[in-house]
A and B are shown apart, each in its own frame.
Chain A
Amino acid sequence: MWALRYDPEICRECPSPRCLLQCQYMEMGEEEARGEILKLSRGEDSRVLEKCMTCYGCEEYCPYGNHPYFLICEMREKRGIYTAPRPITNQWINMTQMQGRALIGKVGEVVLSSCLLPSLGTMASTGEIFSQISSSMVFGAEFMCPAVHTHFAKMSVVKERLPQVLDNFRKLGVKRVICLHDECYGTFTTLAKAYGIEVPFEPVYYMDFLLERLEELKPKITPLNITAVYQRPCSNRWIPEKQDVLRRILDLLGVRLLDRNHQGERSLCCGGILRLVGGYKLADEIQRRNIADMADTGADYCIFNCPACQETLGSKVAKAGLKPIHIIDLCKMALGEISQEEE
């Protein structure tokens, strides 16, 4: 079995336990944060094991890449702690099981992966951006990154399924996988590395691909001249270095990204998983805070990166007066493939 590359020594030497200090779901002072992370590093009980809302944040906060979040998940599973109710946890395990029903397009050396999210497949199957690659799409549990099970502290499922997924890609003989879901890219880079799992292809971040294509299609872009806020998904915490790509895309599209309180490291969960793990009261409160923060900016649009966030939050941001849109659709809009009214 794969083992987490976590080094307790790094935590012992760490000058400031940012991992827990920055946590937005647990209030802790410096001393307590240090105490709790050290307990975890020694394999001891900690209130973090009961209270962590699985926002992925500490993976980003730790400046040493020591994987505190994966450590929490591992320890929870070892102790038989369920983050969400047991039937919900099993529901997720069951519904993401491989059943030999994956859809595989005409795959060459490069493949477009829409994970197990149909809306990603739909968005990427039309339009000029994907015209040369859309026929080479894969969709299904066989190609789904199993990272979602970290929310349920089922690391055993992650470690069992990830090598199978990688093997499924290997069997296709692909060299590059364009990941339309941040979670896939984060899994194939950060998570796989944390466990020393070798990835037999080059993962490509879809926003890098979008940026490259938009630069090629630049003459066709009509600047949108709109303002927007951004809902950063949890999985983006595993690849914080990619945040800048979004800004560059928006510059090209003529979209002014407005500053807000809950952005970057202070981003808030969309509430989908939070509802399962933390209950409706907390999820409602976080959604309320998040949306109020968005609405305060007076932005025209709320840009989504993850379709699951969009599904959870889309109608709610719309009620607050912001138009919800996925970044891929935003690109299509600037290329004149979707009208602003249609959206």
Chain B
Amino acid sequence: MGDILGSLREIVGERWVSDRPEELWYYSRDPGVLEPHRPDYVVAPDSVEQVQKIVQLAVREKVPVVPMGNAMALTGLVIPLKGGIVVDMKRMNRILEVNERARYAVVEGGTSQGALKAYLQDHYPHLRHSLPDAPAATTIAANVALHGQGRLTQQYGFNSEMVCGLEVVLPTGEVCRIGSPSLGPYWFSRSHTLPDLSGLFLGWLGTTGIITKVGIRLYPNKKLRDLEIFVTDIPELVPEAIYRLTHLELLEDITAWFQPKPLMFKDNYHVTIYFTGDTEEELEFKRKMVWGCLQEFIDSKDGGFMGVDPLKPQLLEMPQRSVAEFADVPRGGGFEYSGPITLVEHFPKYAEKVVELARKYDLLYSGMARVISGGHAMMFAISFAFNRADRDMMERVKKAMDEATEFALQMGSIPWKPNFMEQRMILEKMDPVTRELIHRIRRLMDPHGIMNPGNWEVQ
């Protein structure tokens, strides 16, 4: 093995590379429950050329490379399972272009959600992107690499579906452009009319290349936002309510959730319905449509709209901090969730399972589903909060999570941002021909097996 540290220093400069234990300690873990694993080096490139050189070095030296955004996926996707070089992308945080009329932005591979949000607010207040409820420092490239969801997912699909062009450093060190930017200067399309190669990178969790630029669609940002919360004590009504609400084709985001604490939420299921408007009249019109479409449940007294005025400031925040606050209820800031993508009609079964797991493992739970693409599917987050200083509690969360994934697979759903063990469970259950195709693609794209190894690996 050559002098990797020295070579990395040559590529990015002394300041941006480290093999010091205190820094490696930090880069060996994420806030979830997976065991840490130390990388050998961490490096923070500033340009696509530097990323290219790092990957070329890794190929030469046969060491793993793990692209990292903000390490907030919670399922250990940036824990370097086989050591090697963690490539911290956060310095590549420039917003390269906003095409106002075609409504897209081009950002670098380490640009955070918060940076794009702030930039649009300052320069293009009538445009927005689909912000996830993840901390603002999480990155756009990572979010699409794991098929994230955001505020506009109910209307426009997964955030990864909003990608309109990519630039990727392949595991061979070549730079490749996907979609319209492969043909010209515009980033308006990831594929249309071409073979859709974006699928070689989206959902692959950094195992097929390092995204250095993302084109991401922007959408109208209306001046006003408001919400209503429909409440019922019958879980079977939730899918029906969502079906009626999505039929309106009017709403921004829809989430369905339940939690035992605080007591005001006990024993009920809540559907938070967000809508936007440029005028009060537009908001009122939408509010009336929302109330009207669920009137039948109000008349039967099985459901109704709760008073939301005191909760509004918190619920209208973007991103919403309530998830992070939930993480700290048992103190010790541990939080993990499994988020299978599944049918909205399965909501009652998942709801039952969350409560069963929480009881079995004596954990604090919260269940939350986000509607995707007008109700074609939902992401159902089975979340547990835990104290990181309590080993036993962490162990129980791990077991609960494994069981949740097993259940999700039995139910025919697709686990979201699965950890490496869950990926194995998925691959085992998968149609063997599909599994073999994944294997072949991986081998073809990453012949040396250096990209985020341990993930999406067919044994």
Asked if A and B bind, the verdict is: yes
Contacts of A99 in B (CB 8 A): 263
**A85 touching B297 by the CB < 8 A rule?**
yes
- Give the nearest-CB partner of B228 in chain A: A280
User: A311: which of B287, B291, B297, B310 is its contact (CB, 8 Å)?
Assistant: B310
One digit per residue, 1 when the CB lies within 8 angstroms of any chain B CB and 0 when it does not, for chain A 263-291 equals 00000000010011001100000000000
Instruction: State the Cβ distance, A151 to closest chain B Cβ, in Å.
Output: 12
A-B contact pairs, 27 of them (CB 8 A): A84-B301, A84-B304, A85-B232, A85-B297, A85-B298, A85-B302, A85-B304, A87-B231, A87-B232, A87-B303, A88-B304, A88-B305, A88-B306, A90-B233, A90-B267, A91-B231, A91-B268, A94-B263, A94-B264, A95-B264, A276-B304, A276-B305, A276-B306, A279-B295, A279-B298, A280-B287, A280-B288
Complex CA–CA separation, A311 to B309 (angstroms): 7
Query: Which chain B positions have C-beta within 8 A of A85?
Result: 231-232, 297-298, 301-304
Residues on the A chain within 8 Å of B305, using CB: 88, 275-276, 280
User: Chain B contacts of A319 at CB under 8 A?
Assistant: 280
Q: Give B306-326 as 1s and 0s: 1 = Cβ < 8 Å from A's Cβ atoms.
A: 110110000000000000000
A339 at the interface (CB under 8 A from B): no
Determine which of A88, A272, A279, A311 lies in contact with B231 in the assembled complex, contact meaning CB atoms within 8 Å: A88
Q: How far is the CA of A275 from the CA of B229 in the complex (A)?
A: 13
- Chain A residues with Cβ below 8 Å from B298 are 85, 279
A97 at the interface (CB under 8 A from B): yes
Would you give the shortest CB distance from A325 to chain B, in whole angstroms? 17
- Is A86 interfacial (CB 8 A cutoff)? yes
Once bound together, how far apart are the Cα atoms of A87 and B306, in whole Å? 9
Indicate with 1 or 0, residue by residue over A74-93, a CB within 8 angstroms of chain B CB atoms: 00000000101111101100
Q: Is B262 an interface residue (CB 8 A)?
A: yes
B130 shortest CB reach to chain A, Å: 28
Decide if B399 is an interface residue (CB 8 Å cutoff).
no
Contact at B233–A94, with CB atoms within 8 Å? no
Which residues of chain A from 45 to 98 have any CB-CB distance to chain B below 8 Å in the complex? 82, 84-88, 90-91, 94-95, 97
Say if the beta carbon of B266 comes within 8 Å of chain A. yes
Beyond contacts A86-B301, A91-B306: 9 other A-B pairs, Cβ-Cβ < 8 A, are A87-B232, A87-B303, A95-B263, A275-B307, A279-B295, A280-B287, A280-B291, A312-B307, A312-B309
Q: In the assembly, what is the distance between CA of A319 and CA of B283, in Å?
A: 15
User: Size range of the interface on A?
Assistant: 20 to 34
The smallest C-beta distance from B283 to any residue of chain A, in angstroms, reads 12
- A291-321 residues with Cβ-Cβ distance < 8 A to B are 311-312, 319
CB-defined contacts of B264 to chain A, threshold 8 Å: 91, 94-95
A120 to B306, CA, bound (A): 22
Docked Cα-Cα span, A304 to B232, in Å, equals: 32
Contact of A97 among B263, B306, B309 (CB under 8 A): B263
Q: How many angstroms from the CA of A90 to the CA of B231 in the assembled complex?
A: 11
Question: B307 contacts A272, CB within 8 Å?
Answer: yes
CA distance A88 to B302 in the complex (A): 9
Given A280-B287, A280-B291, do A86 and B233 touch, yes or no (CB 8 Å)? yes
The CA-CA distance from A36 to B287 in the complex, in Å, is: 36
| A310 → chain B closest CB, angstroms | 10
How many whole Å from B308's CB to the nearest CB in chain A? 10
Bound CA span A176–B302, Å: 42
Q: How far is the CA of A84 from the CA of B266 in the complex (A)?
A: 17
Q: Quick one: which of A19-40 are within 8 Å of B by CB? A: none
Q: Which residues of A contact B306 (CB under 8 A)?
A: 88, 91, 276
**Which chain B residue lies CB-closest to A272?**
B307
Is the CB–CB distance between B304 and A87 below 8 Å? yes
Task: Provide the bound-state CA to CA distance between A183 and B200, in Å.
Answer: 64
Q: Which B residues lie within 8 Å of A90 (CB)?
A: 233, 267-268
Contacts of B302 in A (CB 8 A): 85-87
- Cα distance A86–B304 in the bound complex, in angstroms: 8
Q: Which of A213-261 contact B (CB under 8 A)?
A: none
In angstroms, how far is the closest chain A Cβ from the Cβ of B272? Answer: 14
Contact of A95 among B262, B280, B297, B303 (CB under 8 A): B262
CA A311 to CA B308, docked complex, whole Å: 10
Contacts of B297 in A (CB 8 A): 85
Query: Hey, which chain B residues are within 8 Å of A88, CB to CB?
Result: 231, 304-306
Of residues 257 to 284 in B, which have CB atoms within 8 Å of A's CB atoms? 262-268, 280
Can you list, as one digit per residue, whether each of B115-141 has a CB less than 8 Å from chain A (1) or not (0)?
Answer: 000000000000000000000000000
When distances are taken between beta carbons in the complex, the residues of chain A under 8 Å from B232 are 85, 87
Distance in angstroms between the alpha carbons of A319 and B209 in the assembled complex: 54
Q: How far is the CB of B454 from chain A (nearest CB, A)?
A: 45
Question: A34 vs B297: C-alpha distance in the bound complex, in angstroms?
Answer: 34
